[in-house]
Amino acid sequence: MSRFGRTSAMVPIVAAVVSVSGCGQAGSAAAQNPGAASPVPAGVANEYTQVNEEIRNEGGETTVGEWRIGYIVEPAEAWHQVMNGNRSYREPVAGETHHIEIVPFEASSGRIVPDVPIHLEVVDGTGAVVDAKQLTFYHAEFFHYANNFSVPANGRYTLRARVEPPSFPRHGEHHEQPPLADGTTVEFRDVELTS
């Protein structure tokens, strides 16, 4: 797997999550006062622990401007979906080999950003795009954007993600630049994709 673009940006996030989930000073205070409520719900702490573990073990990350972008590569997956008002269960279709996830974080806060249009290309060693798709927002152990891809052969590829600015409104003063106003394109090179 690629180690391209890895940063230590997740260290403060993991430290904060570990701190509120039972370790460190906050955890010690909670242990001394079992009736005290944690400032972070357990599900949120677990979400950020899980996403950081998967990025570390099954992908990589980079930080560009206001964005920290992580990726995760897994075998093709099934999911629940709603199409034309009807709910169905979609199994991977013939030829789909990988489920590729992109997780966009606001670098300054560590929060996963919703409502982000993301387009992902899988590029082979000759520079040819072997598959390209718009990603969809998923609910799972952690929120992420993903789709199933068809990779024709085992090998090393580049993942090129175009991350556009989210479409939601932002609070702020008139003279301020709104946060996450600019998108970015990131490449994760030399990513091993095997069936």
Report pLDDT digits (tens) over 45-76. Answer: 999 999 999 999 999 999 999 999 999 999 99
pLDDT at 16: 45
Residue 195: pLDDT band (50, 70, 90) is confident
Lowest-pLDDT choice from 16-20, 101-105, 149-153: 16-20
| Chain length of the chain | 195
Give 25-37 as a 3 state SS string.
Answer: HHHHHHHHCCCCC
Closest CA to 117 of 145, 77, 98: 145
How much of the chain, in percent, has pLDDT values that exceed 70? 81
Instruction: Indicate the average pLDDT of the chain.
Output: 87
Work out the average pLDDT over 148-168: 97
Residue 114: pLDDT band (50, 70, 90) is very high
pLDDT digits (tens, 9 = 90+) for 7-39: 444 444 444 444 433 333 344 444 456 566 678
- Judge whether 73 and 149 are in contact, CB under 8 Å: no
User: Which domains occur in the chain, in start order?
Assistant: 62-193 (2.60.40.2480)
Kindly report the pTM of this predicted structure: 0.81
